Structure 1
Amino acid sequence: MNGFLGRVTTPFTFGLFAVSAISGLALFFHLGSNLFHSMHEWLSLLLLVPFFVHVWRNWGAMKGYFRRGSMIVPLALSLVAAAAFAIPAAMQGKTGSPRAAVMLMTQTPLDNLAPVLKTTPDALRANLLQRGYKVASTADTLASVAAASGAPAIKLLVEVMPSR
């Protein structure tokens, strides 16, 4: 096993790092995000395996870096760089997922949804009725209107969204 690990650890580290670097650059420049997002996350996680094997196999040299102090500055700078991104993001508080916001909008009564859509509850109800949907009252939700009308709730939301 030791001979096998010695032969494949560095090539796997190189190959997975190359994939991680290329997919990371593509994500940074918003090129084919749908192609690279999962690839980048999963293969970067997989990169940890040969990385840790490499550290394990070279632990004597790693201890030397710590003894000489030459590991301290790079690690400290790496932590400072990470903190420069993490701290401002943590200060912003929680941000919700757009998918959750859309689902919440479909579960909100028309009375409460109308102001968000820059209309009145009665105008929103009339809009839905005009489109052929079954709306009993402005207390209904888009989800209940959609269920009664045999349509997906997201379709109703898209139809009643104001145009830009």
Structure 2
Amino acid sequence: MTIFYCRIPSAIGELLLTGDGTSLTRIYMQKQKYGSGVAPDWQRDASLFKEAKRQLDAYFAGELTQFDLPLAPAGTEFQQTVWHMLLDIPYGGTLSYGELARRLGSPKLTRAVGAANGRNPLSIVVPCHRVIGADGSLTGYGGGVERKRWLLAHEASNGEYGQFELF
């Protein structure tokens, strides 16, 4: 299978988008935990990502609150279940890891939910940044807690939060 990619600027730094020619498969931020660089056999083709770029630009401008893109993230059945549940967290809202585990049927799954959330390959579009600690703390985020804070503040202010600066 050919992997296509492009890089786009955003308010939180450059994003690396990958796809299979039909669906978006990954969105990686600079210095993201579990991120990836471009492999030698990937093919650059920005034309395949025009709609993803348009929607991400609209999101960062505060004009889009829900994405409508074909997605094909690779992961285990459990990860896929957790990622699907993330799509139900409304724009500007948050949910705790424990609550997600309870919705899966067992509060004992909190750590597993956290691990699956951390491996989400489609940051922003599949809103893992909306998952927080039971006490409201911003625990963990593959793109960094500062980005998580920025994304949540951006959604809370409906697009008036300014540019993110990497420290």
Please give the range of the TM-score, normalised by the shorter of the 2 chains.
Answer: under 0.3
Greater relative contact order structure (CA < 8 Å, 6+ sep): 2
Return the TM-score normalized by structure 2. Answer: 0.22
Return the TM-score normalized by structure 1. Answer: 0.22
Higher percent of residues as helix: 1
Say which one has the larger Rg: 1
Higher percent of residues as strand: 2
